[in-house]
Structure 1
Amino acid sequence: MSTTQTGIDFIGAGWNYPLGTDATGGIALVTREREIEQAIRLILGTAVGERPMRPEFGCRIHDHVFNTPSSATAGQIGYDVRQALDRWEPRVDVLDVAVGFDAMESGVLYIDIRYSIRGLNDPRNLVFPFYVIPAQPENGGA
């Protein structure tokens, strides 16, 4: 089976993020599934409006940094993740997005994304930690 039949040509290759060099001193590249994983992390890690030349790029999860943890917040974060990946990562189909509040006291939400690479029967998942500002006591702790 050729790579065209498996969909590997569709995945492609890209620069490693963060940018680095390989053993030969050239720009380090990533390929296949690793390139898609890095692209997803880049999309989710970029706030909409952060890039001056591409102000629409990114994900709106950063709008929820100060929200209180609730099922409504989790639902909105899941919706924002799905919208961003549908728009900016055409190589994947998002199967599910789950938001976990397991480490909320330390200000961490875990976004578990289940996806499949289009053209391949290869379900994958990625857990993206999202950091929020924990609520402060009303009286300042006194």
Structure 2
Amino acid sequence: MSQRSNNRNFIGRGWSFPPHFDLTSKGVTMTEGVEDINNSLTILLSTIVGERVMDMRYGCNLEDMVFETLDTSSITFLVTKIEKAILFYEARIEVERIELNTQNLLEGIILIEIDYIISATNSRYNFVYPFWREEGTELNSLVRLNS
């Protein structure tokens, strides 16, 4: 097996998020590579600790910070919380930078920008997660991926 195939296997393959079912193949739509990692990050950041039955420690509890004042202390706490969750639950990547984009703060949206390297391929990617969402906003419309 070539080195490239080994890297692809390490990066992984999983269910799409949110799960989609393909009527043609009568199966679950699968994602792999960077898309699978980004789905994993979305799930990790949106999961409350204790919510996942088989691993009660999994998650990030970002919702605890929704009504906090956005000052240096809370930003540092939030970034540390995200770094720790990724360190423990997303071993396929190495975080380079986490930054909060507050340009849309008055609309109630903070974008969490995560620059990371996939350890197996040494490739750099960017993931953006909407922390505060307006009521009725679909998650997919706010997440954008850049490579």
TM-score of the aligned structures, taking structure 2 as reference length: 0.82
Look up the SS of the partner of 2:28 in the other structure: coil
Look up the SS of the partner of 2:25 in the other structure: coil
Residue 132 of structure 1, CA deviation? 7.0
RMSD: 1.8
Are the aligned partners of 2:11 and 2:120 in contact in 1 as well (CA < 8 Å)? no
- 1:128 aligns with 129
Are the aligned partners of 1:78 and 1:98 in contact in 2 as well (CA < 8 Å)? yes
Question: What pairs up with 1:50-129 in 2 under 5 angstroms?
Answer: 50-129=51-130
RCO higher in 1 or 2 (8 Å CA, sep ≥ 6)?
1
Within 2, Cα distance between the matches of 1:64 and 1:106? 16
Within 2, Cα distance between the matches of 1:51 and 1:91? 20
Cα-to-partner distance string for 1:29-78 (whole Å, 9 max, x where unaligned): 11111101100110001111222442211013222111011122111111
Question: What pairs up with 1:17-28 in 2 under 5 angstroms?
Answer: 17-22=17-22, 23-28=24-29
User: Could you list the runs of 5+ residues in structure 2 that have no partner in the other structure?
Assistant: 135-147
Aligned length: 132
Further displaced range: 8-17 or 88-97: 8-17
Superposition misfits of 4+ residues, deviation over 4 angstroms: none
Look up the SS of the partner of 1:108 in the other structure: coil
Are the aligned partners of 1:15 and 1:30 in contact in 2 as well (CA < 8 Å)? yes
Within 2, Cα distance between the matches of 1:15 and 1:119? 21
Q: 2:16 is matched by which residue type in structure 1?
A: N
- 2:141 aligns with none
Identical aligned residues as a percent: 27
Look up the SS of the partner of 2:27 in the other structure: coil
Within 1, Cα distance between the matches of 2:33 and 2:54? 27
Look up the SS of the partner of 2:38 in the other structure: helix
